[in-house]
Amino acid sequence: MNRRELLSHLAACATLYPQDRVLSIDDMINVFDFDAACKLRIPRDAYDYVSGGAEDEFTLKRNRDAFGRITFRPRMLVDVSKMDLSIEVFGSRSEMPIFVAPTGSHGRVNPTGEPATARGAGAAKTIMGVSTTSSFPLADIAKAATGPLWFQLYAGPDEEGTREKVERAVGLGCKVILFTVDAPYYPHRERDLRNRLVRPEVQREMGMRRRRPDDPETERYGLPQRFTATLTWAFLRKVAAWAKVPVLVKGILTAADAKLAIENGAAGVVVSNHGGRYLDGDPATIEVLPDIVAAVGGRAPVFLDGGIRRGTDVIKALALGAKAVFVGRPPLWGLGAYGEAGVARVLRLLQTELALAMGMLGAPNLAAIRREMVVVDR
């Protein structure tokens, strides 16, 4: 939702509800309602940090627009009286193919932070990805969690510290490592720059303060050096050896890289452009999903994030070959507006929308969702 759409939505809310009425969580009927409520309830710099993208926010907008170019071909007179949205992957079970994406700094939008998000995801009976840059120590999040946790890995600032982070996450019960590969440098998020947002590095996790003596922090071309910028596919093989649990490569946008990920030990890939937060000008993830699915060729599951706001978006991604999807901003809007309960309600609303779309499409379960049920307008 861009600024104009958001203002229009807020105006509509003002018309629907009396001015003296405080909107309750029960008044929220879709993800966009949570977006508007969150914007009203948290500081501007926090909202911009969550909702903004890199530079001109072209990719941020394209992620959403691309779903509008996909239409359905529903089948009729199919028995959809019994619906089943459940999924099990890598030993983690979820009541929906909608997982919470790993996003950092939940404490910016609500002081209860990631532990509350974990409880909300658990209440919705789905999987939560936990970011390396979380506001709370991973141990606290794991203690609060009532559902499966997967750990998102930013490599660095050194190899030893990276290994310790991986082993610590696995030791705390994380079932999957999401190795993020699309962030070799810090991006220009102009909303954050204009807000003079200070985003301190998370130092609580083991190894985060290390710097290699032969790798001083310097700048070249105005780019802060990062350990991630030195990495090649060989490092994925190291991560996979350390983890001893499935490692997914997150940030894949080409068929060639999807093949390399599988060849170098990945158990799957996440088609992701980081929600339009790093390289502005990336394609929408749903646009490149079919080519990546074809390249993987069934050897490993393919997941997707980027722009998911409706249950119909989810079913489009599944029809084009995604095993499941991750949602990033919507749970944060729920957290910012209503805390733990907001996270759970956002996820359940998406689940209900997905179930409705599946019923209308003639697909009573995930296995019944097929490629021929959608048409992509090029």
**Residue 192 confidence (pLDDT):** 87
Is 1 domain-assigned?
A: no
- Name the phi and psi angles at 109, rounded to 5: -100, -20
Confidence of residue 12 (pLDDT cuts 50, 70, 90): low
Dihedral sign (CA 135, 146, 326, 343): negative
Asked if residue 227 lies in contact with residue 238, where contact means CB atoms within 8 angstroms, the answer is: no
- Name the phi and psi angles at 136, rounded to 5: -115, 150
What whole-number distance in Å separates Cα of residue 244 and Cα of residue 40?
44
Is 74 domain-assigned?
A: yes
Q: What is the mean pLDDT of residues 297-314?
A: 98
**Residue 19 confidence (pLDDT):** 44
Confidence of residue 188 (pLDDT cuts 50, 70, 90): confident
Name which of 207-216, 231-240, 271-280 the model is least confident about.
207-216
Does 41 have pLDDT greater than 80? yes
What whole-number distance in Å separates Cα of residue 183 and Cα of residue 267?
20
Is 198 domain-assigned?
A: no
C-alpha distance from residue 339 to each of 8, 209, 336 (Å): 25, 31, 6
Does 9 have pLDDT greater than 70? no
**Residue 22 confidence (pLDDT):** 63
**Residue 215 confidence (pLDDT):** 45
* Number of domains making up the chain: 1
Dihedral sign (CA 343, 344, 345, 347): positive
* Annotated catalytic residue within 9, 106, 188, 274: 274
pTM to 2 decimal places: 0.91
Is 197 domain-assigned?
A: no
Torsion of CA 27, 28, 34, 35, to 10 degrees: -90
**259-299 per-position pLDDT tens digit:** 999 999 999 999 999 999 999 999 999 999 999 999 999 99
Is 46 domain-assigned?
A: no
Residue 338, domain extent: 57-187+225-376
Residues near 303 by beta carbon (within 8 Å), at least 6 away in sequence: 99, 248, 268, 269, 270, 271, 322, 323, 324, 325, 326
Name which of 126-130, 318-322, 361-365, 374-378 the model is least confident about.
374-378
- Name the phi and psi angles at 251, rounded to 5: 120, 15
**Residue 198 confidence (pLDDT):** 72
DSSP H or E run through 335: helix 329-361
Is 251 domain-assigned?
A: yes
Is 14 domain-assigned?
A: no
Does 202 have pLDDT greater than 90? no
What whole-number distance in Å separates Cα of residue 323 and Cα of residue 321?
6
Active site residue 188: no
Is 210 domain-assigned?
A: no
CATH code (residue 356):
3.20.20.70
Q: What is the mean pLDDT of residues 149-155?
A: 97
Beta-ladder partners of 224: 219
C-alpha distance from residue 104 to each of 32, 130, 199, 240 (Å): 21, 8, 10, 23
Does 8 have pLDDT greater than 90? no
Does 210 have pLDDT greater than 80? no
Q: What is the mean pLDDT of the chain?
A: 90
The token duo for 353 is 């929308």
Please count the other Cβ atoms lying within 10 Å of the Cβ belonging to residue 310.
Answer: 19
